[in-house]
Structure 1
Amino acid sequence: MTDSALPASPGSVSSDQPIWTTHYNHPCAWDQHFPPLSLPEMLFRSAERKGTAPLLDFMGRKYSYAETAQGARRVAKGLQAMGVGKGDRIGLFLPNVPHYVAAYYGAMAAGATVVNFSPLYTVDELAHQVADSGTTILFTLSATALLPTALKVLDQSGLERLVVGSVAGALPAGKALFYRLFKGKETAERPDDPRITSFSSLIDNDGAYAPVPIDATTDIALFQYTGGTTGTPKGAMLSHQNLSANARQVNAIDPRKDDADDRILGVLPFFHVFANTCVLNRTVLNGGEIVMLPRFEAVAALKAITRTKVTALPGVPTMYQALLDNPQIAKTDFASLRACISGGAPLAAEVKARFEEVTGANVVEGYGLTESSGVVSTNPYEGLNKPGTIGQPLPGTIVRLVDKEDPTKQVAPGEPGEIIFAGPQVMRGYWNRPDADAEVFIGEFLRTGDVGQIDEDGYIRIVDRIKDMIAVGGFKVFPSQIEEVLYRHPAVKEALVIGIPDPYRGESPKAFVALQDEAEVDGPALMAWLNPQLGKHERVAAVDVRDALPKTLIGKLDRKELRRAEGITA
């Protein structure tokens, strides 16, 4: 796979002149080439350039570029002393803590492939992905939420070793003492077991690791597990070049990337591809500073914004809603905030408008998936921003719309179709799943399973997921279109629509909502308000008012879990 704008492969979708080449609204050229670059080399180059400038701010403790790079080198040497070599899989079962950054780049410098695991995984989930990926060493923390799970997986799987760090050791001195004195219940005791190594012992060396040749284009930097476009969790194989190119693509569209004042709030979890690219790798590439929080809590995030004067705030829609709902927002200083990047799920126009009104910052909506190393397209940070769209493709990225039944054929201009894309960020494939690869690749293009439209300016609008479409008596109903109407009601805070079995029509739409604080309206009243605004086949069978709707690990509304809770398995 080349790094320039990719032509179609023989027998696949034809290659016409993309509309955005004539109206590209990002502040850079669309047709760009990104030379091969490994992630450790990216870090080390930035460390040479930035030296003692801060890279990480963890609860007030600063870590410089030079210090972080040396930490990565020490991790690499420590792993090599354990016998780690090219292609070995090293797991990270960590929240956003400094250990993550050192382990991530250090494992890759040793030639290994990193495997991201969510700290919220159960024993069974973690054990399954450890086995599937072939992970042999797992980094974690001595926290009650993590270590007991990791210990059970160590005993029940092919995992060979644990490397266990301490949160207190990464904090400023005063906060570390507070943590030890008052948060002991959050700390689990590390057993005396030869299979367990402390993080401090692992990095107790001079950092003079043996450099390993890395082919950035073909060597896999990261296994990122995803439900993907075909259902069950699979390991997307992301090369060094996939990830470094996507970081450079995201950086290229930032009109103020050369500013010395580049400070980003790192509250989205690094184990998720959105934060991995847009917060971690992009900021390291640019030489900025990451204000790290181990998990999202609205009050802590708002205080961090005021304390550190962040300039960027990436998030998911439910995060922006939670910040708006918190009374502390009235005391927060947003003057430094230049841009908020929303991804992971559709952003309601009302949430975008309210957040912009309160903060004075632009909220731009983008789009990506695990298989794209993070990002495919986004609205410009400045200039023409079209609410309800995911903007224009990143540099070097081609997006096309194809027939849902025959994806080798493009749809007519203006018509909806399945979104496919090609570019340097497209994954190498799924780990040990050639069957899944065959389902999602059309030559060098990747099928997304999302239905979209492209307007006359080259802006893309997501209509819905193919698998989320509801078949109502021969008509196709898109849940997102019903949800969009629901969000217009002032009482509605969150909305999801799914298809439920209907003996006559096959399926009928059913809506589920959570209400704004102090709102008082019931399901029948909402249904009476909603249905007259919909087409006959779109009208919902019921509106179910809930205290809260299910969410994924990063805070996205979870349609799959809602279906499961309703006993719908199809």
Structure 2
Amino acid sequence: MLMHRLLTLGAERHPERPAFHWVDRDRGLTYAGAADAMERMAGALHDLGVGRGDRVTIFAHNGLDYIVAMLGAWRIGAIAALVNVKFADELTDYFADHTPSAVVYTHDMEAQVAAACAAVGTVRARLCMDGAQDGALSLPEMLAAALPAPPDPGDETAIAHLSYTSGTTGKPKGACLRHEPTVRASRCIGERLRLRPGDVSFGPSALSSSYQLVANLLPPLAVGAAINVMRFWTREGGYDALSARGATSLVANPPILDDVLQESRRRGAPPPALRLGISGGGPVPPTLKAAWRDELGLPLVESYGQSELGGFVGLGYPELEPDDARLGRVGPPLPDKEVFILGPDDRRLPPGEIGEIALTGGFMAGYWGKPDKTKAATRGGYLRTGDLGLLDDEGCVTLRSRRAELVEVAGRLWYPRDVEEALTAQAGVAQAALVGVADPALGQRPVAFAQAQPGAVLDAATLKSAIEGRVPYDLDPLVLVVVPDMPMTPTGKIAKADLARSDLARNAAESAAESAAKNAAAT
């Protein structure tokens, strides 16, 4: 099955049913209207000389044109290459990586697009979503021309989607997803979530993330449901939009899901039609799952995936979990994947033992232009996630840490999630992150950051005392810093690499090391 065929099938079966809605502009497309827009986009790209395997960069804010551009690229066998607008200053590097033939962009990115096109020299056509600009054609005019599209190549094995990794622990890489395994994975996700034609999916995070592709776009398309996208999320405005659109499922990251919880508390009830939240982009604090269950009466379904997957490693069920001890689990693998826990020698570990999470089944074709990194990530026929975790005796996945995020303190490994979950369990803490900073005596000094809920006041010393005994580590070397905001990646994860490199982390670690040295000298 081809990604765009999900839309054409929907248009054949229920043409007048709502397909896509852009919340910020209150504009929508039916299944028939979206299929027509896709054909027009395919004709425009074809007329500009874009063909099979060519990269079409989409560099824009969330909106209907973004979705139509993706669909049109897939329809002619081209590759939709997505770059988040937050990386505007690095656009030339992204262009140099995937060498696009065409670029579809929003008017406010004119200068960055022009500079990147001039530097790389592979771009034959620029299409501005908001009308013609110097060197760029008007996308609305090209779509209105209804230029004929070529025959559908119909190649299920072709690369369709190039989505960049979040760059949480390293430089982003372009993960290449093929049509068929990604559609298969998305259908499995839809079945796990029990999506039905009457569902209304709502995704306010960036369309450049593969998480949006496999949670908010393809699964609802596969069942003929409605899909909402949103650019400007705010706590109050987001709640109002969820209510107005009759959203039944919210595809978001933990900070947005916490916004919904806080606003529902304030208003006394969750958005009326909502039946579940789906979380991705980072681990979900068990306290957040418990609050959705106990206060909203709704399941918060945790997903665990990567850009490299075109799907999920594990996904929970849309059910209330009564056992608090199980709230730290993600959920079982989906039917299209087989998940293993590997030891250092690639031995498959038994239930309960921590090792690297790896899987077989459909996953990326590789990293664009990076054969060595592809070979390392897929060694032995597995996709090696670089994450550490375990499978329990029921087959459920629990994520413990990115391998690169482990903190080694005086010869002992700390799993950041232990400290982070202990902190987020404290009243007034919205988010927490633990990183390691080089320390001459310890190897690494653990530095934890805590962000307060709106209106809450946190005290670092009090927080540190509160989690004493709740984690399996001696907290004497821990430095705790209260911050007003966390640096975030474009996919909604806490940017731990930025935290670890920050002056705040380094200064806090150096101060703690100096204090420890003085105390040691005094005794």
TM-score normalised by length of structure 1: 0.83
- Which residue number corresponds to residue 69 of structure 1? 35
The alignment status of 1:467 with 2:404, answered yes or no, reads yes
- Which residue number corresponds to residue 244 of structure 1? 183
Q: Distance in 2 between matches of 1:109 and 1:553?
A: 27
5+ residue gaps, structure 2: 507-523
- Which residue number corresponds to residue 400 of structure 1? 340
- Which residue number corresponds to residue 565 of structure 1? 502
Q: Distance in 1 between matches of 2:302 and 2:356?
A: 19
- Which residue number corresponds to residue 411 of structure 1? 349
Q: Distance in 2 between matches of 1:76 and 1:265?
A: 26
SS in 2 for 1:370: coil
5+ residue gaps, structure 1: 1-36, 167-188
Q: 1:63 to 1:329 in 2, by over 3 A?
A: farther
Query: How far does residue 270 in structure 1 lie from its aligned partner after superposition?
Result: 1.4
- Output aligned runs, 1:362-401, within 5 Å: 362-382=299-319, 386-401=326-341
- Which residue number corresponds to residue 126 of structure 1? 91
Q: Distance in 1 between matches of 2:97 and 2:388?
A: 31
Q: 1:308 to 1:413 in 2, by over 3 A?
A: closer
Q: 1:531 to 1:457 in 2, by over 3 A?
A: same
How many pairs does the alignment contain? 499
Q: Distance in 1 between matches of 2:53 and 2:245?
A: 38
Residues 418 and 471, structure 2, Cα contact 8 Å, conserved in 1? no
SS in 2 for 1:108: helix
- Which residue number corresponds to residue 315 of structure 1? 252
User: Deviations 1:522-562 (Å, cap 9, x if unpaired)?
Assistant: 22232233344444545443111111121111322221110
RMSD of Structure 2 on Structure 1 (CA): 2.2
Residues 429 and 450, structure 2, Cα contact 8 Å, conserved in 1? yes
- Output aligned runs, 1:28-177, within 5 Å: 37-59=1-23, 60-123=26-89, 125-142=90-107, 144=108, 146-158=109-121, 159-166=123-130
Higher helix share: 2
Residues 230 and 436, structure 1, Cα contact 8 Å, conserved in 2? no
Q: 1:311 to 1:223 in 2, by over 3 A?
A: same
Q: Distance in 2 between matches of 1:267 and 1:298?
A: 11
User: Deviations 1:170-192 (Å, cap 9, x if unpaired)?
Assistant: xxxxxxxxxxxxxxxxxxx853x
The alignment status of 1:550 with 2:482, answered yes or no, reads no
Q: Distance in 2 between matches of 1:229 and 1:266?
A: 21
Q: Distance in 2 between matches of 1:95 and 1:336?
A: 27
Query: How far does residue 376 in structure 1 lie from its aligned partner after superposition?
Result: 2.0
- Which residue number corresponds to residue 511 of structure 2? none
Q: 1:363 to 1:333 in 2, by over 3 A?
A: closer
SS in 2 for 1:517: coil
SS in 1 for 2:227: strand
Amino acid at match of 2:165: T
| Counterpart selection for 2:237 from 300, 303, 306 | 300
- Output aligned runs, 1:426-441, within 5 Å: 426-441=363-378
State the percentage of identical aligned residues.
Answer: 27
Residues 79 and 202, structure 1, Cα contact 8 Å, conserved in 2? no
Residues 71 and 203, structure 1, Cα contact 8 Å, conserved in 2? yes
Moved more, 512-521 or 323-332: 323-332
Query: How far does residue 352 in structure 1 lie from its aligned partner after superposition?
Result: 2.0
Residues 512 and 543, structure 1, Cα contact 8 Å, conserved in 2? yes
- Which residue number corresponds to residue 225 of structure 1? 164
The alignment status of 1:254 with 2:193, answered yes or no, reads yes
Query: How far does residue 57 in structure 1 lie from its aligned partner after superposition?
Result: 2.0
Q: 1:84 to 1:41 in 2, by over 3 A?
A: same
Residues 437 and 444, structure 2, Cα contact 8 Å, conserved in 1? yes
Query: How far does residue 326 in structure 1 lie from its aligned partner after superposition?
Result: 4.2
Q: Distance in 1 between matches of 2:79 and 2:208?
A: 14
Amino acid at match of 2:117: L
The alignment status of 1:455 with 2:392, answered yes or no, reads yes
SS in 1 for 2:250: coil
Q: Distance in 1 between matches of 2:480 and 2:10?
A: 53
SS in 2 for 1:203: helix
- Which residue number corresponds to residue 219 of structure 2? 282
Query: How far does residue 56 in structure 1 lie from its aligned partner after superposition?
Result: 1.5
Residues 87 and 112, structure 1, Cα contact 8 Å, conserved in 2? yes
Query: How far does residue 517 in structure 1 lie from its aligned partner after superposition?
Result: 3.1
Residues 249 and 395, structure 1, Cα contact 8 Å, conserved in 2? yes
Query: How far does residue 336 in structure 1 lie from its aligned partner after superposition?
Result: 1.2
Q: Distance in 2 between matches of 1:415 and 1:398?
A: 17
Residues 531 and 540, structure 1, Cα contact 8 Å, conserved in 2? no
SS in 2 for 1:376: strand
Q: 1:68 to 1:99 in 2, by over 3 A?
A: same
SS in 1 for 2:364: coil
Q: Distance in 2 between matches of 1:383 and 1:491?
A: 24
Higher RCO (CA < 8 A, seq sep 6+): 1
Q: Distance in 1 between matches of 2:395 and 2:355?
A: 14
Amino acid at match of 1:239: R
Residues 323 and 329, structure 1, Cα contact 8 Å, conserved in 2? no
Q: Distance in 2 between matches of 1:228 and 1:267?
A: 20
Amino acid at match of 1:247: S
Q: Distance in 2 between matches of 1:57 and 1:126?
A: 28
- Output aligned runs, 1:510-525, within 5 Å: 510-525=447-462
Q: Distance in 1 between matches of 2:321 and 2:463?
A: 34
Q: Distance in 1 between matches of 2:299 and 2:265?
A: 20
